[in-house]
């Protein structure tokens, strides 16, 4: 794949899956915009790695759950790069994949749902609203939203997280139907459990072993495993795909 001359915004790109996605795009020559919320040092390190890998990198702070912050961030990106070809909505509200500490259905408060919905859907909505006018002028663009394979098979019912990601899948399909005529594609990538990440750090070994036992490829995903499908959906190789969800979990939901 060749992303030379392409400008790629990856939200939540200072750690975990976001770092792997940013590096993968940079290896293919992209100008990667590394969005972060708090850790400027980590984000600037990722941007520097993008340059070393053969692409370009630019770290930019922005709270993606704030409409004003998103609009300011997109304006800065346009001033810096002139366009936005690809958006990867990877940022989400912090969550721990630990069955022992999760809230049960009768314990979850609406505020718990709202926090995850804001982190997943609200943030993607603000980003998409800001970039769609830019992509319409370009008559092309690719938006990839990171969800989870738990929308298909909630082996652990993380109620607020799973509900928010399911809503993001629905949002993505509706958006794909709306913007397709402008040459803009919207797809989702749904990873299984990914390790190591901050969210999976507290996942118990017995749960990992259970997932591995039910996974045809007999292992848990690494952040790098998620990057390839994201690049595929961003590339011309998938130019006739929109409104789709790629499950990247070694066959777990099959």
233 part of a folded domain: yes
Sign of the CA dihedral running 48, 19, 119, 244: positive
Q: Which residues participate in catalysis according to the annotation?
A: 161
**Residue 81 included in any domain:** yes
> What is the domain extent for residue 23?
7-248
- Number of domains, the chain: 1
Q: How far apart are CA 25 and CA 10, in angstroms?
A: 10
pLDDT score for 199: 66
**Within-domain flag for 100:** yes
Q: Identify the pLDDT of residue 53.
A: 97
Whole-structure pTM value = 0.95
CB neighbour list of residue 152: distance below 8 Å, 6 or more residues apart: 190, 247, 253
**Residue 253 belongs to a domain:** no
Assigned domain for 254 exists: no
Residue 2 is assigned to a structural domain of this protein? no
Q: Residue 237, exposed/middle/buried by CB under 10 A (0-12, 13-18, 19+)?
A: exposed
- pLDDT reported for residue 228: 97
Residue 208 belongs to some domain of the structure? yes
Are 63 and 37 in contact, with CB atoms under 8 Å apart?
yes
In this structure, what CATH number is given to the domain that contains residue 76? 3.40.50.720
**Residue 166 lies inside a defined structural domain of this protein:** yes
In which residue are the tokens 């600037």 written?
A: 44
pLDDT along the chain (254 residues), means of 10: 95 94 98 95 97 97 97 97 97 82 95 96 98 98 97 94 97 98 98 81 83 95 96 98 98 94
* Cβ proximity of 62 and 69 under 8 Å: yes
């Amino acid at each position: 794949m060749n992303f030379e001359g392409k400008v790629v915004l990856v939200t939540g790109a200072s750690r975990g899956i976001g770092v792997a996605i940013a590096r993968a795009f940079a290896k293919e020559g992209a100008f990667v915009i590394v969005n972060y919320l708090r850790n400027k040092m980590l984000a600037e390190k990722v941007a520097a790695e993008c340059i070393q890998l053969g692409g370009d990198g630019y770290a930019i702070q922005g709270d993606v759950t704030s409409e004003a912050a998103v609009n300011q961030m997109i304006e800065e990106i346009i001033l810096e790069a002139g366009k936005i070809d690809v958006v990867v909505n990877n940022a989400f509200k912090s969550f721990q994949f630990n069955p022992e500490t999760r809230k049960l259905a009768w314990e979850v408060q609406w505020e718990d749902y709202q926090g995850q919905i804001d982190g997943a859907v609200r943030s993607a909505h603000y980003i998409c609203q800001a970039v769609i006018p830019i992509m319409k002028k370009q008559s092309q663009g690719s938006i990839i939203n990171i969800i989870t394979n738990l929308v298909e098979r909630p082996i652990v019912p993380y109620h607020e997280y799973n509900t928010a990601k399911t809503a993001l899948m629905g949002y993505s399909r509706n958006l794909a139907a709306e913007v397709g005529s402008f040459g803009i594609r919207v797809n989702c990538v749904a990873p299984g459990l990914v390790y190591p990440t901050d969210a999976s750090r507290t996942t118990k070994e017995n749960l990992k072993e259970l997932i591995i036992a039910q996974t045809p490829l007999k292992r848990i995903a690494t952040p790098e495993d998620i990057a390839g499908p994201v690049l595929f959906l961003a590339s011309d190789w998938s130019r006739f795909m929109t409104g789709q969800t790629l499950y990247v979990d070694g066959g777990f939901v099959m």
